[in-house]
């Protein structure tokens, strides 16, 4: 591969500190890399000159064809429970960690290429990606970022000039992804399953130094590290549920140590409120349904706990189990705390009250029974706080299911005594009007397959400001038309 000027100031700690945790590798040759989307603000945040990447050389770098100076491209190894079944070796089958940079805020960030070709972990696959799934991850990840949810982000999407077969020929593409790290529960599982405790310890110490450096000298650092990961995942799950996001494939290899959302494959946002919503074409049993996500997160964390037991209390496994179990048992309380706090904010409430859980669930039950649009209802409820409940009420064909709840909510607001304009402002600040509506995402992806990225760019522009109403964006706030039908997504990147 041809070296290029050092556009990136790499400091590749994973490659340097964790030999045996990866395979050094290079991207596949492709005929014609072309940059189709580029995230200039993110590049600037990473301390990278955007002008140096909006070039043919930049496209070649993002496609994996050219190696920038200082890069150490590698495929990470990990294991994972996939839909409950353990796969002892997975790894980056179509991705390369290009390297790490320290961003302008002093944070270490990974830069990874997805779809850059086969690796030793491809398990017979071609290691490639196509434009639709690449743009899905780009769009949904940027939407999550704008919503304030911890997430990996896309820096670039490139096409490769080749056609890849996926239910027919599709334009090949590569995504350049940025993450706090790509450490997963499955990374720990890989070495724990092999009884390689020394490597589990090395990995845990590396993760602590990277994500929880204040624990580095703590004699109980491994237990406290598990506590931190649990806390981060509980907060993340609450944020997903509060905005109506369904990840779709919450395997342990898709569960990060950092608490970021990762791997936007069969993901979607709900339109009507439905706790059982499933969008993945392969989740036949609803394992990763919308309302089950917190439960699955706790299950995934139990697998991390198992991998760390030999470090938590090396001389007393029973004690290690008890200690880890105590931390794990906190998850429902942690999650509920974050979710209740978030629901109060969505409803304009400033104080907690006994019975809040039941009060909120009563509203959600009524919404589920009448197929109420989740995003639009909460946005409309802000006007109801100012004495204009018509829009919110109109979502319920049978008002008898909503009117008593609405009256009780007004009583709560009156008891708190907050000015109505302040309530409306606070609600609008947390209840988005624009989310990546599934039909709009599909419109953008379908157009991109023909080489037209106008819809994708416009959708990204709308999603940058999800809480600010813009009359020019009215079409992006509407639910899918009835003709859109049942929505399914697929694992593509």
Q: Which helix (H) or strand (E) holds 189?
A: helix 185-193
Helix, strand, or coil (residue 447): helix
Phi, psi for residue 2 in degrees, rounded to 5: -80, 130
Q: What is the largest CA-CA distance in the chain?
A: 69
> Are 44 and 50 spatial neighbours (Cβ–Cβ below 8 Å)?
yes
Q: Which helix (H) or strand (E) holds 470?
A: none
d(CA 379, CA 356): 20
3-state secondary structure 396-433: CCCHHHCHHHHHHHHHHHHHHCCCHHHHHHHHHCCCCC
> Are 216 and 291 spatial neighbours (Cβ–Cβ below 8 Å)?
no
- Helix then strand then coil, % of the chain, to nearest 5: 45, 15, 40
Residues shown for the chain: 493
d(CA 429, CA 426): 5
DSSP assignment string, 214-277 = GGTT-TTHHHHHHHHHHHHHHHHHHHHHHHTEE-S---GGG-BSS--B---SS-EE-SB--TT-
Q: Which residues pair with 113 in a beta bridge?
A: 96, 176
For residue 203, what are its two tokens? 């990995």
Helix, strand, or coil (residue 371): coil
For residue 339, what are its two tokens? 């979710």
Residues marked as catalytic: 253
> Are 354 and 321 spatial neighbours (Cβ–Cβ below 8 Å)?
no
Q: Are strands 3-4 and 67-68 parallel, antiparallel or unpaired?
A: parallel
């Amino acid at each position: 591969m041809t070296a290029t000027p050092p556009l990136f100031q790499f400091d590749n700690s994973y490659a340097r500190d964790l030999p045996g945790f990866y395979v050094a590798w290079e991207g596949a040759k492709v005929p014609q890399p072309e940059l189709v989307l580029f995230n200039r603000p993110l590049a600037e945040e990473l301390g990278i000159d955007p002008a140096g990447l909006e070039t043919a050389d930049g496209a070649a770098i993002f496609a994996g064809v050219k190696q920038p100076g200082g890069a150490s491209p590698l495929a990470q190894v990990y294991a994972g429970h996939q839909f409950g079944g353990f796969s002892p070796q997975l790894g980056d089958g179509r991705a390369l960690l290009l390297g790490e940079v320290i961003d302008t805020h002093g944070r270490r960030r990974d830069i990874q290429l997805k779809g850059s070709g086969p690796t030793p972990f491809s398990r017979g696959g071609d290691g490639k990606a196509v434009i639709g799934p690449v743009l899905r991850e780009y769009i949904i990840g940027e939407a999550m970022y704008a919503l304030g949810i911890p997430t990996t982000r896309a820096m670039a999407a490139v096409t490769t000039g080749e056609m890849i077969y996926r239910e027919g020929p599709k334009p090949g593409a590569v995504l350049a992804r940025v993450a706090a790290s790509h450490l997963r529960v499955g990374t720990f599982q890989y070495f724990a399953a092999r009884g390689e405790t020394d490597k589990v310890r090395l990995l845990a110490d590396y993760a602590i130094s990277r994500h929880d450096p204040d624990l580095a000298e703590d004699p109980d650092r491994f237990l406290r590290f598990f506590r931190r990961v649990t806390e981060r995942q509980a907060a993340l799950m609450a944020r997903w549920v509060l905005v109506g996001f369904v990840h779709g494939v919450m395997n342990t290899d898709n569960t990060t140590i950092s608490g970021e959302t990762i791997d936007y494959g069969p993901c979607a946002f709900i339109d009507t409120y439905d706790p059982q919503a499933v969008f993945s074409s392969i989740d036949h049993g609803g394992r990763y349904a919308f309302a089950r996500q917190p439960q699955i997160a706790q299950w995934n964390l139990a697998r991390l706990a198992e991998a760390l037991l030999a470090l938590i209390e090396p001389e007393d496994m029973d004690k290690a189990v008890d200690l880890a179990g105590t931390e794990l048992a906190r998850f429902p309380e942690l999650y509920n705390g974050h979710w209740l706090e978030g629901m109060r904010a969505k409803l304009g409430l400033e104080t907690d009250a006994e019975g809040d859980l039941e009060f909120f669930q009563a509203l959600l039950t009524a919404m589920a029974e009448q197929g109420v649009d989740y995003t639009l209802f909460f946005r409309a409820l802000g006007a109801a706080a100012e004495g204009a409940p018509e829009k919110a009420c109109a979502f319920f064909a049978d008002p008898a299911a909503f009117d008593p709840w609405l009256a009780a909510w007004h009583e709560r607001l009156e008891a708190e005594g907050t000015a109505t304009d302040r309530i409306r402002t606070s609600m609008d600040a947390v209840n988005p009007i624009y989310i990546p509506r599934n039909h709009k995402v599909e419109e953008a992806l379908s157009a991109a397959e023909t080489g037209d990225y106008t819809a994708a760019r416009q959708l990204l522009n709308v999603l940058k400001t999800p809480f600010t109403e813009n009359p020019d964006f009215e079409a992006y706030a509407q639910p899918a038309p009835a003709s859109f039908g049942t929505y399914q997504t697929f694992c593509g990147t």
